[in-house]
Amino acid sequence: MTEKINNCAFILPVYNESKRISNLANWINWHKSNTENSELILSLNGCKDNTLTLAKEFKYNNLIIIENKKRGRGYAIIDALNFTSKPLACIASLDNAWDRQFYKSAYNILDKNKLVFCVYGPKDHRESKQIRPISRKIISFFSKVFLRTIFFRKLHKDTQCIKMFRVDNNFIKNLKPYNYFFDTQFFLLNYKRNLQYKDIPVKIRDNNKFSKVRISLIIQFIFESFHYLFTNDKN
């Protein structure tokens, strides 16, 4: 196993995270110890609270803060991908729920096999272990059923997951700034271009007993899914 991850941009898309921005300290400590020649990109998308002000209090040479006035996870990720010059990138999360051993395992695969474009950490991998609120599990189940219904065999696994991949400008320019459909879109483009990928197990520990689910977000996810289906998925 590789000791340190080299030349990788870790992207943390955030929206109104003033209450959880303290997790950035944990990320910085991990980044210092486990990477070299790498970036930690905090990409803000339309934040209306004081996330930006609080983030600027963290002092770390490899921390890059990008602010986009437009709201949407897709804008945050695409901005970061267009900014970085690193050959590898990882779309991660500000929270501490995901076990970061995934990043080293994914990097090890990409470093040894140049033909692999992306390494995914799907929650439904047979060896994945997860402790999450029942509300999130229910939403994940129904979203997976919904996506498999409209995209058929193309979505045979969980696509709403962390990933590490090779930065390819031709790939990036075809990504649309969807908010909740971005990760699914990423995999569909991966599938459409017949790029090699690997799935490896992940560990998730979210000890919250309940996670609030907003109906408006579900509606937006459904709308974005059909928008992609009718404007992009021609095959």
User: What pLDDT, on a 0 to 100 scale, did the predictor assign at position 110?
Assistant: 97
User: What pLDDT, on a 0 to 100 scale, did the predictor assign at position 40?
Assistant: 97
User: What pLDDT, on a 0 to 100 scale, did the predictor assign at position 181?
Assistant: 92
Nearest to 160 by CA among 143, 173, 172, 178: 143
Q: Domain total for the chain?
A: 1
User: What pLDDT, on a 0 to 100 scale, did the predictor assign at position 171?
Assistant: 96
User: What pLDDT, on a 0 to 100 scale, did the predictor assign at position 232?
Assistant: 79
**C-alpha span between 48 and 51 (Å, rounded):** 8
**C-alpha span between 148 and 109 (Å, rounded):** 28
Residue 219 located in a structural domain: no
Residues 6+ apart with CB under 8 A from 213: 135, 136, 139
Which tens digits make up the pLDDT trace of 93-105? 888 777 889 999 9
Residue 203 located in a structural domain: yes
Residue 151 located in a structural domain: no
Query: Could you tell me the residue range of the domain that residue 124 belongs to?
Result: 5-130+161-179+186-209
Residue 19 located in a structural domain: yes
Residue 28 located in a structural domain: yes
Facing residues of 130 across strands?
204
Q: Render each residue's pLDDT in the chain as its tens digit; 235 residues.
A: 568 999 999 999 999 888 889 999 999 999 999 999 999 999 998 888 899 999 999 999 999 999 988 778 999 999 999 999 999 999 998 887 778 899 999 999 999 999 999 999 988 888 888 776 676 777 777 888 888 888 876 666 778 788 999 999 999 999 999 998 999 999 999 999 999 999 999 888 765 654 566 788 888 889 999 999 988 755 4
Residue 104 located in a structural domain: yes
Residue 148 located in a structural domain: no
* Separation in Å, CA 105 to CA 37, 111, 158, 188: 18, 10, 19, 23
Residue 145 located in a structural domain: no
Q: Helix, strand, coil proportions of the chain in percent (round to 5)?
A: 40, 20, 40
User: What pLDDT, on a 0 to 100 scale, did the predictor assign at position 174?
Assistant: 95
User: What pLDDT, on a 0 to 100 scale, did the predictor assign at position 80?
Assistant: 96
Q: What is the CATH number of the domain that holds 53?
A: 3.90.550.10
**C-alpha span between 39 and 37 (Å, rounded):** 7
